[in-house]
Amino acid sequence: MSEIIGIKYNGEIFDTQTASIEDIKGEEIHFDNSREALSIIRHSCAHLMAQAIKELYPEAKFFVGPVVDDGFYYDFKTSVKIGEEDLNIIEKKMKEIAKKAFPISKEVINRDQAFRKFAGDELKQAVMDRIEGDCFGVYRQGNFEDLCRGPHLPNTKFLHSFKLTKLAGAYLGGDENAEMLTRIYGIAFADKDSLNTYLAQLEEAKKRDHRKIGLEMGLFGFDEEIGSGLPIWLPKGARLRRRIEELLTKALIIREYEPVRGPEILKSSVWKVSGHYDNYKENMYFTVIDDVEYGIKPMNCVGHIKVYQSSLRSYRDLPLRFYEYGVVHRHEKSGVLHGLLRVREFTQDDAHIFCTPSQIKDEVSNIIDFTHKIMRAFGFDYEMELSTRPKKSIGSDEVWEMATSALKDALSGNAIDYAIDEGGGAFYGPKIDIKITDAIGRKWQCGTVQIDMNLPERFHLEYTDENNTHQQPVMIHRAILGSFERFVAILTEHFGGEFPFFVAPTQIVLVPIVEEHFKYAFDIKRELLNIGVYAEVMDKNETLSKKIRNAEKQHVPMIAVIGEKEVANKTLSIRDRRQKAQYELSEKEFLNMIETKMKEVNF
């Protein structure tokens, strides 16, 4: 068994430097690649990087160095301009320090002691201003020390499998009006094999980058004259989105969801009732109309609540399932915008289910089944995580227990193995997060299923039960894809642009060899359009090899070559790029095959 580096107790990780560690009885954390161990490893590696930077640039000052989903980073400033070429120098110094096996110790001091210790360091003062209370942790390794709550490894000797990955700028505290700091990102693992696997994955990810492929295929774009984080969908990208929407809509109708649509701007008074004004205001956009403040919606739930309130409801009406492909806007910082993965305007595949408490299990079970069919259609592996009641929450123990048990029963009833994030639920209810794994092993948070007792209470939602008594319904928030923008980005990278036939933006390219063959090609295109298939004709005056090469650059699933023989015999010479096969079909056989392929996938 590998060395113990920490203890997880009640959802919190304690390192071996914590004074009360002997009194804590919890789950032992060993030095491995578990999520809990990696958080300690990467946090310690951030400090190792800071120590290396301090030795190379003695005047450097440091802000914060947290663990993030894909590694760690540190924000700092120095009078020396640091470039990408300096990352190798810093990394080499990190290795030198790690080999010296410095013990990592922890000291706890009060606020006055901390201010004196870091006097003259305005970044540390800024950190302390953000911390409540009078208790400050200081971690020390060799001649380097920094404010930190931990947890950390017991010794730098554990750190041997790390890599600095990129350099960026970051505003102090994320405030665009504050000074710009330097940010260096890195990754760390418990062993070199895991690091090498990750680095190989990074190289493959560069080839699959949805921004690069999206540009090459003409799917989407951005224009600074319009604004950052506001994607423009080009025809091929819009066709891809539309195909996904069509498949979802068909499945939703079968599952008895009703389409609804809420306005995109609502009075701020309603956002105050929902709690968004107090808890989410910094992420919203506002405007004033006739001296009244309005908020542009960051979520669709309030509009759906108003649909529920449009009529008196009985227990016989429930469950009510409303869906909307709702456009929402969120004020994301410019530094976190990333292609379609992080934007300021996006469209959610949103749904809200209003039901009785006893219906929660069946509704969640139906959502899980729906999720499974979607993920299977796209070839994604996925996992689910149940997040339970946090310390800060609303509602009775009885309701929380009932909602959590219903989620557990639905997961178990569908034979879903799931992890539990103790205390990770929303303040208004427990939730299930859907995490998919793409073709190169990366995990993505996409969908979510959230049980909400808060909004029905805030908006005084009611239904009458069998005894004609007023009861409060449960509200289930449900998004499976998350957003079309994010899902298209993930799909693009998952398939490397080689989309499956049923959603490909261009499904067939018809390649007539010479002009005399154009008419037959366009006749076939019209037939394909009639059955809902996106087809293009390569009618430029180019050589056959160039036409085929250009078609392949579009990553189309199928190329049909049309020459003199094909026109005479009413046939097509098919190059099936997904099946890696070539064959010849009559026009009728070809159209029948395509029509069958279009019906192969249903959610």
The CATH number of the domain covering residues in 4-206: 3.30.980.10
Q: Which residue has the higher pLDDT, 500 or 600?
A: 500
294 pLDDT higher than 70: yes
Here the tokens at position 262 are: 């809420």
Confidence grade of residue 348 (pLDDT, cut at 50, 70, 90): very high
559-584 as b/e: b if 16+ CB within 10 A: bbbbbeebbeeebbbbbebeeeeeee
Distance CA 260, CA 304 (A): 7
Structure confidence at residue 534 (pLDDT): 95
Q: Is 326:211 a contact under the CB 8 Å cutoff?
A: no
Place of tokens 């071996």: 16
Distances 569 to 375, 377, 500, 522, 564 between C-alpha atoms, Å = 41, 36, 30, 16, 9
Structure confidence at residue 279 (pLDDT): 82
Distance CA 569, CA 560 (A): 14
Tens-place pLDDT, residues 491-506: 999 999 999 999 999 9
Structure confidence at residue 406 (pLDDT): 87
Query: Span 217-231, mean pLDDT?
Result: 95
Burial of 323 by CB count in 10 Å (0-12 exposed, 13-18 middle, 19+ buried)?
Answer: buried
Query: Span 556-575, mean pLDDT?
Result: 96
At residue 504, what is the residue type? A
Confidence grade of residue 461 (pLDDT, cut at 50, 70, 90): very high
Confidence grade of residue 422 (pLDDT, cut at 50, 70, 90): confident
The DSSP result for 129-173, as a single string, is HT--SS-EEEEEETTEEEE------SBGGG--SEEEEEEEEEEGG
Structure confidence at residue 253 (pLDDT): 96
Here the tokens at position 134 are: 């009078």
Tens-place pLDDT, residues 390-409: 887 777 788 788 889 989 99
Residue of 124, 211, 477, 517 marked active site = 477
Confidence grade of residue 333 (pLDDT, cut at 50, 70, 90): confident
17 has catalytic annotation: no
Tens-place pLDDT, residues 226-249: 999 999 999 999 999 999 999 999
Tens-place pLDDT, residues 138-173: 999 999 999 999 999 999 999 999 999 999 998 898
Residue of 77, 208, 210, 330 marked active site = 330
241 has catalytic annotation: no
Query: Span 457-463, mean pLDDT?
Result: 95
477 has catalytic annotation: yes
pTM score, whole prediction: 0.84
32 pLDDT higher than 60: yes
Strand, helix or coil for residue 277 = helix
Where in the sequence of the chain do the CATH 3.40.50.800 domains occur?
Answer: 508-598
CA angle 321, 326, 331 (to 5 degrees): 130
Lowest mean pLDDT among 167-176, 526-535, 569-578: 167-176
Distance CA 247, CA 250 (A): 5
Residue of 350, 433, 438, 452 marked active site = 350
Residue of 8, 47, 321, 352 marked active site = 352
Lowest mean pLDDT among 86-100, 162-176, 214-228, 453-467: 162-176
348 has catalytic annotation: yes
Structure confidence at residue 278 (pLDDT): 87
431 has catalytic annotation: yes
Q: Is 39:176 a contact under the CB 8 Å cutoff?
A: no
Query: Span 330-337, mean pLDDT?
Result: 87
352 has catalytic annotation: yes
Here the tokens at position 207 are: 């080839």
427 pLDDT higher than 80: no
Place of tokens 């161990």: 37
Query: Span 99-122, mean pLDDT?
Result: 94
Strand, helix or coil for residue 191 = coil
Structure confidence at residue 123 (pLDDT): 94
Here the tokens at position 361 are: 């299990």
Residue of 431, 486, 525, 575 marked active site = 431
Residue of 17, 51, 141, 348 marked active site = 348
Q: Is 323:332 a contact under the CB 8 Å cutoff?
A: no
In 3D space, the residue among 251, 363, 349, 350 whose CA is nearest the CA of residue 318 turns out to be 363
The DSSP result for 24-89, as a single string, is --SEEEESSSSHHHHHHHHHHHHHHHHHHHHHHSTT-EE----EETTEEEEEEE-SS---GGGHHH
Which strand ranges, in their side-by-side order, compose the sheet holding 418-421? Answer: 258-259, 320-329, 345-355, 474-479, 443-452, 431-437, 381-387, 418-421
In 3D space, the residue among 551, 441, 554, 556 whose CA is nearest the CA of residue 493 turns out to be 441
1 pLDDT higher than 80: no
Structure confidence at residue 426 (pLDDT): 81
Query: Span 188-197, mean pLDDT?
Result: 96
Lowest mean pLDDT among 54-58, 240-244, 266-270, 544-548: 544-548
Where in the sequence of the chain do the CATH 3.30.930.10 domains occur?
Answer: 212-262+297-494
Percent of the chain with pLDDT over 70: 100
DSSP 8-class letter at 118: T
> What homologous superfamily does CATH list for 212-262+297-494?
Bira Bifunctional Protein; Domain 2 (3.30.930.10)
9 pLDDT higher than 90: no
Q: Is the domain defined by 508-598 classed in CATH 3.40.50.800?
A: yes
